[in-house]
Structure formats: structure tokens, C-alpha cells
Amino acid sequence: MRAALGVLLLTSAAATADVPLADFARHAEYFDVQISPDGKTVSAISTASGPRQLVLLSVADMKTSTVAARDNDDIGETWWASDERLIYNEGVHIGGLERPVSTGELFSVKSNGGGGTILFGVRAGNVAPSASHIQHREAEQATGTFVSALPDDPNHALIASNPWSAQQHSALGSFTQVFKIDLRDGTKAPVVTAPMRDAAVMADHNGAVRLAFGRDNDMSFKVYQRDASGGDWQPIHDSMKDHGEFVPIMFDRSNTSFYYQCGGERGMGGICKWDTAKRSSETLWSAKEAAGVALVATADGKDAFAIRSLPGRPALTLLDKSAPEVGVLIDVMKQYPGEDVQIVSESRDGKRMIFFVSADTDPGVYFLYDADKKKLTPLFQRRSWIKPAQMAEMEPVQFKARDGLQVNGYLTRPLGKENAKQLPSVVFVHGGPFGIRDAWEFDPAVQMLASRGYAVLQVNYRGSGGYGDAFERAGYREWGGKMQDDVTDATHWLIDQGIADSHRVCIFGASYGGYAAMEGATKEPDLYKCAIAYAGVYDLRLMLSTGDIPIFLRGKNYLKLTLGSDENDLWNRSPIAHVDRLKAKVMLVVGGADQRVPAEQGEHLHDELNRRNIAHEWVYERAEGHGFYDVAHTTQLYEKIVAFLDAQIGQSKSVVDAK
């Protein structure tokens, strides 16, 4: 952090030294840090020993115990289900894949690291019974997710299950089932079945399952509610009939109303509250510029006292100025001015809190706050090897697109060149494309590029999330159209501001960003000196039939809605159809095991470039998926990217050479 942590984080005069590329490729060492409801144990996921492991830290003596996944697999998500029991899932490395794949199983472990057992999933029935009450546990081909702890019942929790069987898990998806599960042995009892397939479900603070919501196969977003005492599901929102956003977040303390993400008064996003009895809503907060909304919960988790938003840098709006958490939060924010200070977990009495303090230049530190001692103790650094003084600051920027729409983004200039002009620059396009956005935060890839002397511009083009439903929908069927124009206009803005050397600009992106990189190079052949396309889509027609999206009816309808289905139109908007326009040098990066964007997308473009004798860089890793996961592979990729950029637009390139 910029100056606040003193000894904890090194801010030496060596800040100008090159940071090894491997430092940007490494996985975060600690994340998903939570405190148990009784405040006695802190849990975290750690990669310090290789595979992801669960670390359990006793607050009383600060001693840790470690829980490893089976067979050298990875711990996935974690949830505190009671004071002394934690639920987690695992990811396995199958078929030689580098990135772990979730098994859908759920495991339970005590807060001291003992008493571990599998609760739910395909291997649950393989455990030999050690007592009669375990004999009823059965293997299930289904994905389990944690729903809620149960107040006053430390031995049980609520989970949701989505079966895999061919009978239930067809192209239509499966109806979500909710069970009450025993945390000790995995025995369970049915509670309710959701009224729609693959639904998210939400319980109130008494453990009653009250809400089910999600996108139906027709791509409408639907929300259902039921009474606390049970009964039938009742529809309360259908985006095909009702306008605006309606995404449930949490119940309030009364359990008679719940907060939800809405469009707000300006359509840029907001927080509303829904009265379940009256079936009426009120708007509590409306974004002026951008939302990126999250509620900040009270210590007991039964209400919210603040709203986090992200217009540029993170902002905080208080809902309840008298909440006891407010004073603590403001006090910590004063200690770390200019940082992003978040309460990520609290004990139910509010006496112990986990804070995460981070910034654009700092991956962040997790702290334990003790209210009785009024003490803030650092626990875990997310990436301890990163020195904030060696990182470059990220600046929020705005510009007008050619049709007058305001577009936001972020500019990162190399350290020591914050006011420099005519810099070699990279336009870095995020994936998605819909509902995803770039944010003010530590981004290893951005910092990697800046550390090598490149200015980096990130663009939240129309279609990006966090700017309201209308902004997101404005990107529908605009692959290669207005979404691409936004990126082009951002590039011209960067040049017009004098920040970028017009002869030394490259475009880079992954997934949709990989598409945008190649589309930018073919649509605007004189604008970019080079293009780096990573796990990208290059023939839009293939999107309708390959990959893991069109497997399900919902995915097919999503693609028809957001991409279109006219094959001639899709071909005309595909970079592979226009490689004859290319002037930019090209690097293609492909993972052979990519399920989202199958390798054939990159392979076909690679073959077409070869057929036309267009020289290009080709980076292929057989066992990588949708984005490289292995640290060595990522380090090698970064080395190749830097060498490629240096050869095309590097600092040593003169304007004459660049032309």
C-alpha cells in the first residue's frame, strides 16, 4: 500500500528495477478469507504449497492447521455453516488439464481441521461407514452448492442440488432441489424444489427458503417468492413483461422485505427493497454514473448498512449512519487513504472483522480487527512478492463514443511516466463481453505491460456490466459493430490526448477481447501496429454450434439474443473472413483444452493465415483451457508477449521504424 503499511510492505528505492515476469504470472497466495460466526477461527485458501489448500487459523493463539484436498486436487469455495463447521468444494485436474474442474461435491471439516468428511456428490457413497448413521449417505451425480446456515442448528445447513442425469439434466437443464443436510455425515432431507431450472435460491435469516431466481430457457430473468411457512411459489418478476433489473441480494432484518439490484432512477443501476407481503418496492439508492453495486452487511448478516459502488474508484454510501460498523469502517479508511477498504467477513457479534485493504498498485492485505482491543492485525498478503512502489497507478477516464454515448475506462501509464506523452500503448480489451467490466484494482496483466514501458488503456465498451441494463443491452448483436467502434473511439481518444504515439499502438485481449483484437486489426488496418488475440472467437458462426454455451437451450437462446443467428451476417462480422485487410502483426494464443472457445477457432485462423502466407506468432498449449492456468505456461506467454510488443512498438523503435 502506498505508505500505510510501513514495514509490512517494502517501498524501497529499488522501485524502478524490473519486476520478474514470473511475479505477475503467479497465483494469489491467499484469498477467500473469512471468520467463523463465533469469531474464534479464520479460514483462508492458500496456494503457498502448490495446490489450493484450506488454512484454519485459531485467533486465540494464531496457530494454523491445513486441510488438503484429496489426490493433490484443489480446495475450491468455502462457507462457514456453523461456529465449528465449514463446508468446501474441490476442483480436480482431469485429462491432464491445468485448470481444476469442480466436481460438484461438498465436504465438511471442523474448525480445528479435524473431522473432515464428504457430505455430497459422486464419491460420497464410496466412504466406508464407520457408524450406522453414515450408511444412508449415497453417491449422487449432481452439483451441490451451499445455500445457508441454519440458526440454532449447528449440525445442519441448507444446500442446493442440480442433478446431472440424462433424464433430468437434458438440454433444458435441471430443476434445482434444496435439501437440509447433516454436516457430520451427509444425510439429508428434501426441503423444496425450485419452480425453474438451474435456479439460484435464497433463504431468509430464519433458514426458510423464500426466493428462487435466474434466467429461464427463453432468456427471461424470473423471480419467484414463497411464504416463510412454505406454500406454492409465486412469480413476482419476469423481464419479458416487467422492465428493469431485479436481482435479489439479501433479506433485511425483518425477513418481510429483501434488497435487490434494480435499475435506479437514472437507469444506471441502484438498490431497491421489495416488500414480500405488499408486493411493492421502493428505491433506496440510484447510481449517478455507474453502479457495480454490492451491499455491505451488518455484523450479524441480517441487514445492510452501506452500499459499495464503482463509478471510477470505489465509493461508499451509508444506508444506516448509526450502525456500529460505520465507525470502525471509517476509522480504518482513515488509516489507509486512497485505498479500497472492505469488510469481507465478521463475527456475529461484530467484535471481530476481516478487512481487505487493496489498491490499483497493491494486490491487498487481509487484516483481523479486534473491537475490544481496537487493534488491526495483518494476517495474509494476497501477493507478498509484489512491491506496490514498483507498480503503476490506474486512472479512471471517460470519453464520448461517436454516437454520443459516454464510455468509461482506465488508463495505466508506466511508473515514472505519469505525465509522459507519445508512449507506446496497448489497448487491452476485457472478455465477456456482457455483464463483465474492468475495475479499479490490481490487475497482474496490466501491471505486467506497464512494467515493460507500455501505457495500457482498458475500455468498458457498451455491453459491459455495472452501467445499467440499457448500457449492457446496447451491446447486443454489436459484435464487430458499435462495441468494436467504442474500442476504436477509445484508441483515437488515447492518440488525440497525445498519450499514445499513433505509430506505436497495439490491441490485446482474451476471449471476447481476443475477438476484438483481431476484429480491430481487420476493421481498422491502419490503426494498430499489432494484435494479440488470446483464446478468442474468430468465426462467429462456430459460436452457435461449438463450445459449452450452445449445449443447453438457454445457451442457444442467449447466443441468438446477444450475437444473432444469421450466418451470412455472422460471417461478415468474423475476423477470419477479412484477413486480407490485415496490416498489423498478429500473435495467436490458444489452449488446446478450451471448452468455452474450442481450439478450432484459433486453429482455423492459424491455418487461414498460413494459407495466405501471412506470418504470425503461434502460441499453443495442449493442456490449457480458456486462459492459461499453469504458472510456467503463463510466464512463458508473458515473455513472448513482451518480446512481440518490443519488436513491434517497443521503446527502442523510432517513429520511422514504427511506420
pLDDT of residue 238: 95
Least confident range from 77-86, 125-134, 234-243, 330-339: namely 125-134
pLDDT of residue 71: 84
Mean model confidence pLDDT for the chain: 91
Determine the Cα–Cα distance for residues 136 and 186; give it in Å rounded to an integer: 8
Q: Are 369 and 357 a contacting pair, CB within 8 Å? A: no
Better-scored residue on pLDDT, 172 or 642? 642
pLDDT of residue 126: 56
Strand pairing class (270-275; 280-286): antiparallel
Give the model's confidence band at 20: pLDDT under 50 very low, under 70 low, under 90 confident, else very high. very high
15 has pLDDT over 90: no
**What integer is the mean pLDDT of 327-344?**
95
**What integer is the mean pLDDT of 587-612?**
97
pLDDT of residue 616: 97
The SS3 assignment for 297 reads strand
The SS3 assignment for 533 reads strand
**What integer is the mean pLDDT of 581-609?**
97
242 has pLDDT over 90: no
Q: Give the three cell numbers for residue 397.
A: 477516464
Determine the Cα–Cα distance for residues 32 and 39; give it in Å rounded to an integer: 16
Determine the Cα–Cα distance for residues 345 and 327; give it in Å rounded to an integer: 16
This prediction's pTM: 0.92
pLDDT tens per residue, range 51-110: 999 999 999 999 999 999 988 889 999 999 999 999 999 998 876 677 888 899 999 999
423, β-bridge pairs: 500
133 has pLDDT over 50: no
516 has pLDDT over 90: yes
pLDDT of residue 171: 74
pLDDT of residue 130: 40
Runs of H (alpha helix) within 379-510: 444-451, 469-473, 482-496
Give the burial class of 95: count Cβ atoms within 10 A of its Cβ; 0-12 exposed, 13-18 middle, 19 or more buried.
exposed
pLDDT of residue 125: 72
Give the burial class of 273: count Cβ atoms within 10 A of its Cβ; 0-12 exposed, 13-18 middle, 19 or more buried.
middle
518 has pLDDT over 70: yes
Strand pairing class (455-460; 423-429): parallel
138 has pLDDT over 90: no
pLDDT of residue 170: 62
pLDDT of residue 137: 64
pLDDT of residue 96: 65
pLDDT of residue 157: 97
**What ranges do the domains of the chain cover?**
116-242, 391-658
- AA letter at 191: V
CB atoms within 10 A of CB 384: 16
For the chain, give the percent of residues with pLDDT over 90: 84
169 has pLDDT over 80: no
The yes or no reply on domain 391-658 and CATH 3.40.50.1820 is yes
Q: Give the three cell numbers for residue 422.
A: 507519445
pLDDT tens per residue, range 48-66: 988 999 999 999 999 999 9
pLDDT of residue 244: 81
